[in-house]
Structure formats: structure tokens, C-alpha cells
Structure 1
Amino acid sequence: MALVISWSTIVTLRVVSSAFLGLGLVLTIFRLAYRIWLRRFWLEDAWAGVAFLFGIATLTSCWTYVEAAGEEEIISFWVYSFTFLSLVWAVRLSILFSIVRIVYETQHLRRLILGLAGLFLGLWAGVVAQKAWGFGHNTSWYQTTGKVHAFLTQPMVAFELMSDCLSDTILIVLPLRLLWSFKLPKRQKRMIFAIFSSSIVVTIISIFRGFCETAKYTSVLGPVTDFETALSLLICNLLVVVTFLYRIFGFASADDSVSSDDDDYTTRTTTGGVFTSVDLGNGESGGGEQRHSGIQSMYIARRETR
């Protein structure tokens, strides 16, 4: 039995998803302004900015596609098909680079992150290339009755699903594995685990979108894609926004191991692998200073200010 929903329901769902996407855009603006104000704007923030630009293009082309007809409708479909896809991959790269912020950096970790970033860029390019070829080599869908829509072949859908599942699995497993052995406050660790694990929701929606693509459920495919895009952008900003609220509402003060001057949990604390700590229990001048490599609960001076 075909899964079909009415046009009015489609429009309603797209209004709701557009509201979520709009919220994601607002949070991205806050996130970028906040990071610039802290002077800690880095690669994950730059990728969030890229996702923001794709988000604006996605929102615009979505409603142009809904309201337009003829050539304008076809152009809107092309733009929407690639901007939502690019937004999702830009979000993944932002989340990937944010891992460096919250775990102790080593050369091994840096090489790992750069290698995975290269993998993500390759998968992104592969999905874009196959979709461009699939839409462009046969333009008979331009004459589709009703709203124009081009479907991918099953091998293309399989490749896109493989890329989505592989990248999302990496983004879930990698930070959880790296953070598991670190001595972070329990409340902070639970918060970070929950934020990174939220990518599972996007993965589930992506799998359902692939099912709708294969089954050619056109009426359902649009709203599902909209929600995947909106949730991706919201998840992209969760780590910065939630940690900001975490401190604003005073939860940070309940963690004895968090220094009062640490105003951003997402900030990587050093680049050289050496921390300077002070032993407050030692009254002798200079006797309490020691150098060590690892995460410390109290640290001074040598914090990175990107």
C-alpha cells in the first residue's frame, strides 16, 4: 500500500520543519557570535557557518519549490537537492572538528581527525557527483505531471545510505570512546555523551528517507528531508548552546573540578600537551607548581585563545 499524504498535510509539515530550521539558523548566529566574542572561533565554527549558508539556501529553495511551477520549480528542486545534502555534511564536519575541542589533543588524534575529515569530504563529493549525474543524464523528469521530482536508482540510494551510516557511526563512537576514560565531572560527561549520541536520530531519519526514495513515496520524502536538515543544524549547535546554558543556570558551580574561569567547556585547553597546575595544599613558594600531560581540573595561564 502506497504511503501518501495530502498536499495540505505536506505544507503543514514543511511549515513545522521550516520553523525548526529557522531555529537552527538563529542558534547558529548565536553560536558564531558567541565564539567570536570569546575569541575562540575555530574550524568547527567555520563549518557551522558553512552549514548556515546552506541552511538559508535550503529554506529559500524549499518554499520556492512548493510555490513555483515550470522552469523555476525545476531550478528550485536542483538547488534544494544539493543544499540540504551539503548542509548535512557541513554539520558532520563541524561535529568532527569539535571533538578536538573537548578532548586532550595529541598528534595521533590530530592525524586521525584530519584523515576522517578527508574521508567525509570524499564521501560528500561522491554523493554530490552521483546525484548530479543521476539528475542530469536523463532529464525526462522535467516533464513530470504535478510537482517535478527525480528519483535516485537503488545503487545510488544504497551508496548514500552507506555514507550516512558510516559517517554518523564515526561521529557517535569516536567521541564516546575518547571521552570514556577522561575524568570529567559526571554531569558534564553525561551532557556531552547525550549531545553526540543525538546523531542517532539523524541516522534513523536518513534511513527512512532512503526507504521513501526507493519506494518512490514522493509526498513523504519532502517533509522527511526537511526534518533531517533541520535536526542536523540543531544538533550542530547543541554542544555550544547547551554548555552556555549549563553555565548560565549555575550547574557548572556544582562541579568542584571545574575552574570558575573556564567559561567554555568546548574549548581545547592546550596545544603543546603541557599544563601548568597549582597545588593549593602546599604552602611553600613555588613548591606546588608541577608540569604534567593530561586533563587537569585546575589550570592557569596557558589556555588557547584562538
Structure 2
Amino acid sequence: MVHTLVQLKITSAVCSFFAIALTCLRLYLRRDRYWWDDACAFLSTVFLLLQVAAVFMHLQDPRVLTHLDNIAAYYIMAASFYAIIWTARLAILYSVIRIDPNPKTRLILHRVGVVFIVVLGVMIAQLFWVCEPLPNWKNAVSPQCPLDKQVAICQLVTDILADLLLIAAPLRLIWGMSAEDGTRKRLMVIFSTSLVTTIVSLVHAALILSDAGAKVVIAALVE
């Protein structure tokens, strides 16, 4: 138990440090030019800080906190995971919208952004409608809801569809640009980010399906 908590906290601290540092660098470089993609990146960082706080609420002796606090810490950690991932996807999406010169494509991608927000709401709601009817997990010393296949399948499908779109959107623009174009390089970063996120999200969903316990949380933190 103690070893698992240490792993969770180290994973959270290391991954979050790099994510927050890169976001701060991004916001600094884009100062005076902020747009919706920057707002989404900032919002994702806020949710990330909330998640880090929830992770560190898991103490070696859970009895230090009230039982309700431990349950709340789990819900905050789980819900903030979805908030981080989907606001990050929105940041990527709006980066593409900002760069894409085609008005029709931009309009379509704006609508996709609305869909992303709806999916985020559904995923968080699903967390509660799956976990709340299962009261036994709340009685554990360190509560963790046993997410079922419904959650894994829903996450897998939405992750794949969203990430494929985020891979395809910049790829379409990359093909029409020269190798020296600065915009092309930025789009390559977006493409690479989406690809890595897809791979990690597939691993995360697979761990949920296999009921891998703490590994599910670690994969979520990495994602």
C-alpha cells in the first residue's frame, strides 16, 4: 500500500511538473497573443493542480483524513483526469482552428469543440452513475471505485475518435506546407502530441478492462 502510494505521488509529481512547465513556457511565448487554445491549456493546468492535490491527499495512514475526505479525494482525482485530458484536447483543437485558413473547416472544428465539451460532461457524469450504486468500495481504507467495462469501452471509443480527429486535422494542413514553414513545425508538434496521447489512452483503457488496480491510476496520471 505504502509503495503504491509512493509510486502514485512520484508519477503525479514528475508528469505534472513537466506538463505545468511546458504550459507556462507556452503561455509565456504566446503572451499578448492569447486565444482560446491558450485558455484551454491554462484551464487544463488548473485541473492538473487540482488532481495533484487530490493525489497527495492519499496518505500512508488514510485515517488522518475523514472517510468522506478520502472518498472526495478519489472523485476529485478521477473527475479531474477527464477534465485535464479533454481541455488539453480542446487546446490542441483550437490550436488547429487558429492556424487553419479555411473558414468552413474552422466552423466544423468549432462544432467538434462543442462535442468535446459534451463528452467531458458525460464522462464525469458516468463516473458517478457507475460508482454511486456500488457502495462497497467506499468502505475501503483507501477508497477506489472499481470502474467497469462500460467506462473502459466508453473511454476507449471517445479517446480513439477524438485523437484520430486531432491527428488528421493537423496532418491535412501539414501536407500542403514546405518543410521550412514555421507553422508546419508547430503542426508537427500537435500531431506528435495527439499520437502519444492516443497510445497512452489505449494503455489506460486496457488496464481498466483488465482491472489492474493502481496501474489504472498511474496510467491516468501519465496520460
Instruction: Say which of 219, 225, 233 aligns to 2:220.
Output: 225
Aligned AA (1:60): A
Alignment partner for residue 211 of structure 1, among 193, 206, 209? Answer: 206
Residues in 1 aligned to 2:43 and 2:8: alpha-carbon distance in whole angstroms: 26
Q: What is the CA deviation profile of residues 132-189 of structure 1, one whole-angstrom value per residue up to 9, with x for unaligned ones?
A: 2112233221113x42111222122201110111101111111101221134516863
Equivalent of 1:18 in 10, 13, 21: 13
Question: Which consecutive unaligned segments of at least 5 residues does structure 1 have?
Answer: 1-5, 229-306
Conserved 8 A contact 2:5-2:58: no
Matched, 1:92 2:85: no
- Cα 1:110–1:47 shift into 2, 3 Å: same
| Distance of aligned partners of 1:110 and 1:32 in 2 relative to their CA distance in 1, 3 Å threshold | same
Deviation, 1:93, is 0.1
Please give the residue correspondences for 1:123-162 in structure 2 after superposition, counting only pairs within 5 Å: 123-144=119-140, 146-162=141-157
CA distance in 2, matches of 1:54, 1:158: 24
Aligned residues: 219
Say which of 53, 57, 60 aligns to 2:50. Answer: 57
Percent identical pairs in the alignment equals 24
- Alignment RMSD, CA only? 2.2
Aligned to 2:168: 173
**Match in the other structure for 2:79:** 82
Bigger relative CO (Cα 8 Å, ≥ 6 apart): 1
**11, 29, 50: which is aligned to 2:24?**
29
Query: Does the aligned pair in 2 maintain the 1:10–1:220 contact within 8 Å?
Result: no
Equivalent-residue separation in structure 1 for 2:20 and 2:97 (angstroms): 24
* Greater share of helix: 2
- For 1:156, the aligned partner's letter is V
Contact 2:12 2:55 survives alignment (8 Å): no
Give, in angstroms, the shift of residue 35 of structure 1: 2.0
Q: Is the 8 A contact 1:52 1:87 kept in 2?
A: yes
Tell me if the contact between 1:13 and 1:223 (Cα under 8 Å) persists in the aligned partners: yes
